[in-house]
Amino acid sequence: MKLIVFYNGEFGARVVGNLVNYSGFCISCADACTQCRNVKPGFAENIVSLVEMPDPESLGDFIDDVEPLLPTNIPQADIAMVINVHPDILFGMLPKLKEAGVKGIIGCSEKPKELPLGQRVQLEEKAAELGMEASFSKPFCAMLPDPAKPNIAAFLDAAGIGYPSIEIVVQKSREGKEHILAANVKRSAPCGSTWFVAKRLLGLEPDQPDIRERISEAHHAYPCTASMERDMELGDTILHKGGYIIREAVEDAIKKAKRLD
């Protein structure tokens, strides 16, 4: 499954780094690194092009003539990922993506003014008119595979990104207690933070009083790059939403944990 990425900014670069999984991408553990990501297959050979786009904040709210800003010679791909691209450019790109054989478009909102709900809905509707799937989430780690959008679902499964999913193994430790022996990432947040959170879970007791705080500390330490500005759509900050998502993913994994005697 071939991917083309259109992006701008630090978050887009981080998502690409997580997909490529190049040596040295994650430096969060510094000298304590155990190369936990070595088990993650890289997606680099499936990426046909990385296109750095203009900063939306430099273009104003509306673009009168979008044609000069549209990418040219788009290579054939199955999925297009768009991160921090001006919405007027996105709408202008849709027919060109269709011509390039793109079957699905995925994107996200990591800042309150980045692709608000109305624009996300309009983009999905316009893509559907052209015979393409489209899925946008706020934040990116809220995206779950949708059976109604099989091409996007297949990509998320192949790339191992989207709403975090972790498999936890626990083992008996001190009297009446268990500790987390292993935390295996099945699907990571697109930025790659789930790998770091999973590593920080090792040795913890699932029922210890500060387990939520420990998850939150790991999520912030990676760190999450989502906005700390209050978002009216969410009624909270997007960063906090990302924190709730990884916490719920870990708590779900604990409930389903495998046990070793």
Residue 27: φ, ψ to 5°: -120, 15
Rounded CA separation 8/227 (Å): 15
How many domains are there within the chain?
Answer: 2
What pLDDT is attached to residue 261?
73
Looking at residue 155, which CATH number applies to its domain?
Answer: 3.40.50
- pLDDT higher than 80, residue 67: yes
Residue 230: φ, ψ to 5°: -60, 135
Q: Which of 100, 127, 159 is the last residue of a domain?
A: 159
Residue 3 banded pLDDT, cuts 50, 70, 90: very high
Same domain, 106 and 214: no
Same domain, 102 and 118: yes
Outline where 188-237 has alpha helix (H): 193-201, 211-221
- pLDDT higher than 90, residue 86: yes
Same domain, 197 and 69: no
Query: 22: domain range?
Result: 3-159
Same domain, 121 and 249: no
Same domain, 78 and 142: yes
Rounded CA separation 33/27 (Å): 8
Same domain, 242 and 136: no
What pLDDT is attached to residue 243?
96
| pTM, two decimal places | 0.93
How far is C-alpha 197 from the chain's CA centre? 14
Q: Are 25 and 37 in contact (CB under 8 A)?
A: yes
Q: What value does the mean pLDDT take over residues 86-100?
A: 96
Residue 63 banded pLDDT, cuts 50, 70, 90: very high
Dump pLDDT digits (tens) for 131-172: 999 999 999 999 999 999 999 999 999 999 999 999 999 999
Same domain, 251 and 208: yes
Distances (CA, A) of 57 to 32, 61, 67, 87, 107: 38, 8, 18, 11, 17
Q: Which of 99, 127, 159 is the last residue of a domain?
A: 159
Residue 199 banded pLDDT, cuts 50, 70, 90: very high
Q: Which residues contact 87 (CB under 8 A, 6 or more apart)?
A: 56, 115, 119, 123
Same domain, 146 and 173: no
Dump pLDDT digits (tens) for 12-35: 999 999 999 988 888 888 888 888
Rounded CA separation 229/90 (Å): 24
Same domain, 10 and 123: yes
Rounded CA separation 164/195 (Å): 10
Residue 175 banded pLDDT, cuts 50, 70, 90: confident
